[in-house]
Structure 1
Amino acid sequence: MRISFACLLLLSATVSCHNERNRKFINQHINEGMSVNRCDQVITSRKITETGSNTCKDTNTFILASTNEVNKVCGLAGVPYGVGLTKSLQPFPIVVCTLRNQGARRPRCQYRGRSSTRYIAIRCEGDFPVHYGRDIVHLD
């Protein structure tokens, strides 16, 4: 009985960790209504910074799609790519926000936005994305 309870507790903690990492991914990288002119506003309101600090991120990419559409990349809508990443089979519209004032700290982050359509490479845990690896120009 104790072993079963310990296993259940460990499984619960693992699922909670995956959920937390997926929620962070969604906060940092999914925004259907994003535009190149909203980088400062969205990054500030979502409190996006370098992990564990108030330092502004050099770049942050937003995927202009629903969470459900991006989740599908971790399943049948993606293929293995590089080391531990999954590449989307279809391109997504994205906005890349690049820091203009290097070395700045939150809340003084100022970004320039650029839009494009790219394949995305993400790290998945189970059926959910937890890390944005990169965007890819597909040349076949």
Structure 2
Amino acid sequence: MALHGPRPATLLPLLLLLAASLALSAGQNWNPLNNLFRKRHVDNPPSFGTATVNDYCTKMMWRRALYGRHTNTFINAPPEDINNVCGTGGLVKGPYRYESIATFPITVCIYNHFTLSYTGLRSTQKIVLSCWKRLPALYIKHL
């Protein structure tokens, strides 16, 4: 007897294939690592502009489904400027690693296990990214 009903495991590869073909037909590079990088590290313009830096971190970590992660850095600059680090705006510092020439406004969020909230630190620093297909894939560190 055959089973009837929805089969999400069968649909997932089809949806990924559809997303990839749509991105390629639109002339865009399909780079899932860049999508994840943007979710974890890019916030421009900075959300919660009037909130304190600690409130900003707590709210952003909840909003981006990163809550509980020990440390995360948000880059508060336009995505185009961040992407440029993987090209003419960066210096090669190893395989797939690029150090920015310019400085970027960043917010470092550090989880406090005692208060179950985040402490935020804002600064302007150079950043080091790992790039794939000329787009940021991983945030390595700030200098």
Q: 1:114 aligns with which of 115, 118, 121?
A: 121
Q: 1:42 aligns with which of 60, 83, 86?
A: 60
1 CA distance for matches of 2:113 and 2:75? 23
Q: Does residue 19 of structure 1 match 2:31?
A: yes
The one-letter amino acid of 1:42's match is M
Give matches, 1:1-140, under 5 Å: 19-32=31-44, 33-34=46-47, 36-37=53-54, 38-48=56-66, 56-82=68-94, 84-101=96-113, 109-136=116-143
Give the gaps of 5 or more residues in structure 1: 1-8, 50-55, 103-107
Aligned-partner SS, 2:32: helix
Asked if the contact 2:108–2:122 (Cα under 8 Å) also holds between the matched residues in 1, the reply is yes
Asked if the contact 1:39–1:113 (Cα under 8 Å) also holds between the matched residues in 2, the reply is yes
- CA RMSD for the aligned pairs? 2.6
Q: How far did 1:96 drift?
A: 0.2
Structure number with bigger Rg: 2
Q: Percent identity?
A: 31
Aligned-partner SS, 2:102: coil
Question: Measured at CA, do residues 82 and 39 of structure 1 come closer, stay the same or move farther in structure 2, by a change above 3 Å?
Answer: same
Question: Measured at CA, do residues 109 and 46 of structure 1 come closer, stay the same or move farther in structure 2, by a change above 3 Å?
Answer: farther
Question: Measured at CA, do residues 109 and 85 of structure 1 come closer, stay the same or move farther in structure 2, by a change above 3 Å?
Answer: farther
4+ long deviations beyond 6 Å: none
Question: Number of residue pairs matched?
Answer: 114
Aligned-partner SS, 2:65: coil
Give the gaps of 5 or more residues in structure 2: 1-16
Aligned-partner SS, 1:48: coil
